[in-house]
Structure 1
């Protein structure tokens, strides 16, 4: 049976095989693109234009989707109350950390979240520690592609080992976290450093997959768009070359032998007071070459960007900035593809976050609430007046409980809702009529039957009359 060390070395080798592909994605995200085609003996001016031709659109594609993904609540499906595991979210600062995890999964196709035992700031209460990691530093292995939890996982980080640049490696299985050190860049000489049990009963790693399929593959947003990004860069380079060397009229002369000075340099043509070229040779002819029309090159760039918007289902306004003077219906139609793409991503990532919060409970030795669900913040660009009007009609016309509509208010978090619920409970406790209503409800359910209900109603009416006259 393979030891943890053997399995960790094997997984590190598999991660190394993915390094070239993931590093290329990372470079394109940071604007380090493959250069456009240039002549074999390109001059310094050409090389400068090639550097300036890079217009990095890929971060816009990733950010457009990532900025619409914000988890802001976690509620139990049985009671519709905030689930207790939400405290782990707040303790680990996942309001801020979730964006980096989403961006990594969107960019590379995968990202990882690890849940291990930890302690709070005072060190008194054991609480789980939740951290996200890039697929460039972590990999998970499954016994079957359809398994919910990985069989093993390994991650690494740069560290100084024995005074040398090395690695620290963490290996996870369903019982233990093993920590190794290595003095080599590939982690081939792992030496045990520490180990501890995590108590989750499963490998405490959740893999965030973007656009997963049934064969275990996950495709990020960046890799399919690299060819389109190169096309846009090439078109931009061609535009800059034309703009630099042929965007102005060129005057030509023929039938005149050039003259040189004593140093062998050509002598400029004489120009008279009217700024006309002069030549003494009667066979000399002057003419003019028109400038290059830049509009086809500009259209070529726009076409490449539009193709990128179509392939990635990104709204044209995010890439082209040309969505103006359109009706609300036209804007909604233009964003329909992006909305469907966001809904699919929320469904996949939402399940991943639910697994993360269930892991938090398992690490503490509790029972995981499989009915609880995360809620996503509404990022649609609607006015607050429209939303308030719609929610008010739902409450009045359809008699939907007001508390059930609070989560649908844009920008309202679960923490806000919990605060409102406490305020309402405090106000209700201080209101004598609310106390009386509670008494009526309790009496109606007692052994007195209908007589008790009628008596309680009479008492309530008398109290209301007295309160009004007072």
Structure 2
């Protein structure tokens, strides 16, 4: 009964946070939010409502610079082939960016470690969304004391299966009519901790359940949506010069057979003569819409200041042409934010990999490991190669470290090593060196 109470409590937490998660997901997806456009929006203008998706731009621009390239165990010079094999076997090249994106959007995602039924030497590592999983996180250690995941919702959204993750066992339940959740299976792992690793994106110590990266720009997004909608209304009403007629009668707007002329003919000016010689025709000056565009540019600058996005990401730039150095300088804050985000998110991957090693090797003696990230900056390859070459020539770093600095993947490095080993010149140099050593 205690386990069932724990399961019910965690499932309630999932439902308690569902409304806020739907709101954040709506902003990321760019869903139309008429309530956010203001109560003064006339019903006739609702078809002109425009949503500018700055939240997705901010998240994607940050997440695109967060690429895991491997894991390095303590005492090893290169990345671990074994851990990278596990990474590839679980399709984490494509799944890991989704976890990063989820953590940035809603503040939390989860890494779940399990055992494969068909391969006892390769763990099952999956990433999950907080939409259907919640963990009770110990604020002191950052580990999950218990976690629950719901599966297979019916047409009414009621989950039909659930999993409860406890420190030494995973328990699986099915929903039975009249009985509620009934235990159907249990997997004991005796790890002393749950196999769920929270991936929380935190900005402060008080963000115990994570914090969305979009919160700072949601208000500006709504404000820009209102401005764009008003701009659309102005284009319809006052952007085109309006005409006026003084002294005309209704007969002037009829065809020869007496039928009224269509409204579109009058609108485009297909009126060639008026019966009253005193009648006057003229037009008003068209409205200048630059006041709307200036406001939108101001909102863009504020978004750039809050998110660290370069100005050209948001569609505006200065009058002077931008140099390569200026572009790199404008991206410096985004690069630093990416490095800080990587530091925040890598704890989950390292804990997950240590859990996998403990489970597969059946040992608690797990070496330290670190996550290797791709360089989030955007220098040209020629400039980076030149800098790395100078470091190798000065003896500051070895050649293998230069390959890491240039961003070569483990597979590329292994391939280059094989090519160099089969090179006749390198073979001759090694043989001469061996003969010299023996002499």
- TM-score w.r.t. length of structure 1: 0.81
Q: Which residue of 2 aligns with 1:177?
A: 170
Q: Which residue of 1 aligns with 2:343?
A: 347
**Contact 1:88–1:357 (8 Å) recurs in 2:** no
Give the alignment's Cα RMSD to 1 decimal.
3.3
Is 1:245 matched with 2:237? yes
**1:78-117 mapped onto 2 (5 Å cutoff):** 78-83=75-80, 84-117=82-115
**Contact 1:313–1:337 (8 Å) recurs in 2:** yes
Q: May I ask how many residue pairs the two structures share in their alignment?
A: 426
Q: Assess, with a 3 A threshold, how the Cα gap between structure 1 residues 287 and 425 changes in structure 2: closer, same or farther.
A: closer
Cα deviation digits, residues 127-147 of structure 1 (max 9, x gap)? 2100001111111102x4122
Q: Which residue of 2 aligns with 1:7?
A: 6
Counterpart-to-counterpart distance in 2, 1:267 and 1:421? 79
- 1:151 is paired with a residue whose SS is strand
Q: Which residue of 1 aligns with 2:127?
A: 132
Tell me the CA shift for residue 42 of structure 1: 2.5
The structure that has the greater radius of gyration is 1
Cα deviation digits, residues 324-357 of structure 1 (max 9, x gap)? 8212331122111101111101111122211111
- TM-score w.r.t. length of structure 2: 0.86
**Contact 2:328–2:378 (8 Å) recurs in 1:** no
Tell me the CA shift for residue 27 of structure 1: 1.7
Gaps of 5+ in 2: none
Q: Assess, with a 3 A threshold, how the Cα gap between structure 1 residues 277 and 381 changes in structure 2: closer, same or farther.
A: farther
Tell me the CA shift for residue 21 of structure 1: 0.3
Q: Assess, with a 3 A threshold, how the Cα gap between structure 1 residues 95 and 199 changes in structure 2: closer, same or farther.
A: farther
Counterpart-to-counterpart distance in 2, 1:257 and 1:124? 89
Q: Which residue of 2 aligns with 1:76?
A: 73
Q: Assess, with a 3 A threshold, how the Cα gap between structure 1 residues 118 and 67 changes in structure 2: closer, same or farther.
A: same
Counterpart-to-counterpart distance in 1, 2:6 and 2:30? 36
Counterpart-to-counterpart distance in 1, 2:297 and 2:429? 67
Q: Which residue of 1 aligns with 2:150?
A: 156
- 2:122 is paired with a residue whose SS is strand
**Contact 1:166–1:183 (8 Å) recurs in 2:** no
Is 1:289 matched with 2:284? yes
Tell me the CA shift for residue 82 of structure 1: 2.7
Q: Which residue of 1 aligns with 2:375?
A: 378
Is 1:196 matched with 2:187? yes
Tell me the CA shift for residue 202 of structure 1: 1.0
Counterpart-to-counterpart distance in 2, 1:180 and 1:267? 69
Counterpart-to-counterpart distance in 2, 1:228 and 1:40? 18
Cα deviation digits, residues 128-181 of structure 1 (max 9, x gap)? 100001111111102x412231100111122569xx964211110111111112
